[in-house]
Amino acid sequence: MSLFLVLTFLFYAGSMIGWGIEVFWRRFFSKNNLEKKWINPGFLTGPYLPLYGLSLCVLFLLSFIDVSFVTVEWLQKLMLFVLMAIAITIMEFIAGLIFIKGMKIKLWDYSKNWLNIKGIICPQYSFYWVILSGLYYFLVHPRILEWLYWFTNHLSFSFVVGFFYGVFCIDLCYTFQISAKIREYAKEKQLEVRYENLKDIIRKRNEEFKEKRHFFFALKTNRLSMREILRDIFEK
């Protein structure tokens, strides 16, 4: 079975599962969601988070690293999970930095967390990656090939995955159009827009004007343009 097919499937699965994890985390455990609202997480509109999809692909590739030079078996596993967490943390840092430097958008903010670096990464969430790496290794990795063989033998599910990638590409174009407007304003005013805060403000504005609250289209508002919203927020 080709590596491309494996990674294609894993990106799809990881993006969807990661989105589900984030939805429940923000609803029940996030300290930033005091109202306990259901929040659509992430940069895109649809129910997927590409960072989790890429992370699952990385976990799959790193799971084949040879750590046999460590003689104690449980230390082998621990070293492997730590390496996985470090790799994903680096990837998280690069992704966050690209958006901050290139688009003037901060997708997530760990500024209040202990020993954070630029508010993009911190030890607390790196530790969570260690736990998720362990869960992946013991619960997911042994069954991947079995799932993939099922996937290739069910053309209807192949259509679902293909549909996912089609919607995903459309979503990228739609979201980057909005992000370009945010970047233009942020660059002009020499500021940094916190994406989650912006979505929260738009949600509250829609509730204030008794407009429909959009779970997926969190940046959509019928009353004001994106530039008017940003000007209202930053130029009070």
- pLDDT of residue 48 exceeding 90: yes
Torsions phi, psi for 208 (to 5 deg): -65, -40
Average pLDDT over the chain reads 87
Span 20-36, pLDDT tens digits: 999 998 888 877 777 78
d(CA 229, CA 223): 9
Question: How large a percentage of the chain has pLDDT more than 70?
Answer: 93
Provide the whole-model pTM: 0.88
d(CA 87, CA 101): 21
DSSP conformation letters of 137-165? IIIIGGGHHHHHHHHHT-HHHHHHHHHHH
- pLDDT of residue 198 exceeding 80: yes
Looking at residue 78, what is its pLDDT? 93
CB-based contact 56:89 (threshold 8 Å): no
Span 116-168, pLDDT tens digits: 999 999 999 999 999 999 999 999 888 887 887 787 777 777 888 889 999 99
Looking at residue 71, what is its pLDDT? 83
The three-class DSSP label of residue 53 is: helix
DSSP conformation letters of 103-144? HSEES---TTSTT-BTTTB-HHHHHHHHHHHHHIIIIIGGGH
**Selected residue with higher pLDDT from 228 and 191:** 191
Q: What share of the chain is helix, strand, coil (3-state, %, to 5)?
A: 65, 5, 30
